[in-house]
Amino acid sequence: MTTHGPVMPIWSCGGCNAAWPCPTRRRELQAEFADAPVSLTLYLGSYLVQAAEDLTWVPAGTLHHRFLGWTRETGGSRPREWCK
């Protein structure tokens, strides 16, 4: 079990005090959901909704990138048919 869980309502990492999900937790999540990228996005999306309720002063785009934007950065390109 990870020590890099979110500390709410400030959404810092309980393991390293970085903004959650921290780089360590991101690597862990990528490994856990390696064969299920859509499930990872849905999982993190639920946290995004909670964080948006707590962090009302943070712009929505910033929260989106923090919680979801990174999931596609290392996942490679999408199949061409997805882009139609």
Q: How confident is the model at residue 83 (pLDDT cuts 50, 70, 90)?
A: very low
User: pLDDT tens digits for 6-64?
Assistant: 999 999 999 999 999 999 999 999 999 999 999 999 999 999 999 999 999 999 999 99
Which pTM was predicted?
Answer: 0.82
Higher pLDDT, 25 or 74: 25
* Full DSSP string of the chain: --S--EETTTTEETTT-SBSSPHHHHHHHHHHTTT-HHHHHHHHHHHHHHHHHH-TTS-HHHHHHHHTGGGGTSS-PPPGGGG-
Q: Is the pLDDT of residue 82 over 50?
A: no
Give residue 24's pLDDT.
97
